[in-house]
Amino acid sequence: MRAYFYLAERQMAAGFCRCFEILAQIAGGYVEILAAIFLWEWVFRERESLHGMSGMQMRSWVILSAGLTVFYSVQVHLRMRREAFRRGLSALSPCSAAGLHLARDLGNAAVNLSVKSLPLVILGGLSFGLLPPAGAAELLLALCGAAAGYLMIWLMYAIVGASSCWLMGLGDLGVALTVLIAFLSGSLLPLEFFPQPVQSILSWLPFRYAFQTPLSLYLGKMTVPEGIRQLAAQAVWILLLYLAGKLLWDGGQKRLSEENGS
State pLDDT tens for residues 61-106. 999 999 999 999 998 887 777 766 665 555 433 446 677 788 888 8
Share of the chain above pLDDT 70, in %: 85
**169/76 Cα distance (integer angstroms):** 18
What gap in Å lies between CA 230 and CA 50, rounded to an integer?
24
Would you place residue 258 in the very low, low, confident or very high pLDDT band (cuts 50, 70, 90)? Answer: low
Average pLDDT on 167-176 reads 70
Stronger pLDDT, 254 or 61, i.e. the higher one: 61
pLDDT tens, residue by residue, 105-161: 888 899 899 999 999 999 999 999 999 999 999 999 999 999 999 999 999 999 988
Q: Is the pLDDT of residue 249 over 50?
A: yes
Q: Is the pLDDT reported for residue 14 higher than 90?
A: no
What is the C-alpha to C-alpha distance for residues 244 and 228, in angstroms, rounded to an integer?
A: 25
Specify the range with the lowest mean pLDDT, choosing from 22-31, 56-65, 159-168, 225-234: 159-168
Secondary structure, 3-state, 124-193: HHHHHCCCCCCCHHHHHHHHHHHHHHHHHHHHHHHHHHHCHHHHHHHCCCHHHHHHHHHHHCCCCCCHHH
Question: Any residues with CB less than 8 A from the CB of 114 and at least 6 apart, and which?
Answer: none
Alpha-helical runs (H) found in the chain: 2-16, 19-43, 55-71, 76-85, 97-112, 118-128, 136-162, 164-167, 174-184, 196-202, 208-218, 224-261
Average pLDDT over residues 251-262: 65
Percentage of residues of the chain with pLDDT beyond 90: 59
pLDDT of residue 199: 92
pLDDT at position 138 is: 97
Most confident of 39-43, 65-69, 106-110, 201-205: 65-69
- The residue with greater pLDDT, 168 or 27, is 27
pLDDT, position 124: 97
The overall average pLDDT reported for the chain is: 86
Q: What is the pLDDT of residue 248?
A: 84
The C-alpha R_g of the chain, in whole angstroms, comes to 19
Of 229, 234, 212, which is closest to residue 53 (Cα–Cα)? Answer: 212
